[in-house]
Structure 1
Amino acid sequence: MNYLLMGQPAPGAEANPIMTFLPLVLIIVVFYFFMIRPQMKKQKEVTAFRNSLAKGDKVVTTGGIYGKILELKDNYVLLQIDENVKIRVDKAALVRDMSDVQAQK
């Protein structure tokens, strides 16, 4: 028995165009709520974190370097990672604020 022929509409009957595109629309909506929306929320949090940085904050870079912010510019920060060791790091490389964590200890 051929099941593909059984699922076709009768000759002369037209398929409803709304029912044809409904699964595609549902897939797009689910994709938006489970993939795109959380990513946009995460991006807003990262942007807010980078805009809230201040001189004296202790941060961690993507490379795992812990440092204290000495100077802030538009695209980079100057980090002090030891007594006489200062490095310039791109703002996009800053991942986490460690000021609160070290203050609790």
Structure 2
Amino acid sequence: MAESFLILAQAGGTNPMVNVGFIALLVAIMYFVMIRPQQKQAKAHRDLLTGLKKGDEVVTQGGILGKIHLVSEQTVTVEVANGVRIRVLKRSILAKGAISDEGAKPEDKDKKEEK
């Protein structure tokens, strides 16, 4: 019985350290491909939220465009039109910056073509 066990152990021939190294390599790949980019994205979003101030143009996760009127600890008041203000959670702000309205005013295009 002991002889057959030795024969099977020798027949396997793979070093257990190779398996440990392979698993460590897979963990390292998972870290650099999945975990690290997600951490960078979360940090960038935290930095965006801490840098919000009155007058910034923002986009919410729901696609609402507006200008910040008031910033509090957990909420932001966004002015979406003249005199129309909504309160949203600060964490629902997706991006900051000017948004272009390329197709919003067809009258302007007609005026430019006439000139």
TM range (shorter): 0.7 to 0.9
Give, in angstroms, the shift of residue 46 of structure 1: 0.6
Distance 1:43 1:72 in 2: 20
Equivalent runs, 1:58-69 vs 2, <5 Å: 58-69=57-68
Q: Which runs of 5+ in 1 are unaligned?
A: 1-7
RMSD between superposed Cα atoms in Å: 2.0
Give, in angstroms, the shift of residue 14 of structure 1: 7.5
TM-score by length of 2: 0.73
Q: Which deviates more, 15-24 or 45-54?
A: 15-24
Q: What are the Cα deviations for residues 6-53 of structure 1, in whole angstroms up to 9, with x where unaligned?
A: xx6526x97533112111111000000100000001111111011111
Q: Give 4+ residue runs of structure 1 displaced > 4 Å after superposition.
A: none
Q: What are the Cα deviations for residues 50-103 of structure 1, in whole angstroms up to 9, with x where unaligned?
A: 11111110101011111111110111100111112110000111111124x56x
Larger Rg: 2
Equivalent runs, 1:1-105 vs 2, <5 Å: 9-10=9-10, 16-99=15-98, 101=99
Q: Which SS does the other structure have where 1:56 is aligned?
A: coil
Distance 2:15 2:66 in 1: 62
Q: Which runs of 5+ in 2 are unaligned?
A: 1-7, 101-115
Aligned length: 93
Q: Which SS does the other structure have where 2:23 is aligned?
A: helix
Q: Which SS does the other structure have where 1:81 is aligned?
A: strand
Give the share of equivalent positions with the same residue, in percent: 33
Greater fraction of residues in helix: 2
TM-score by length of 1: 0.79
Distance 2:59 2:14 in 1: 58
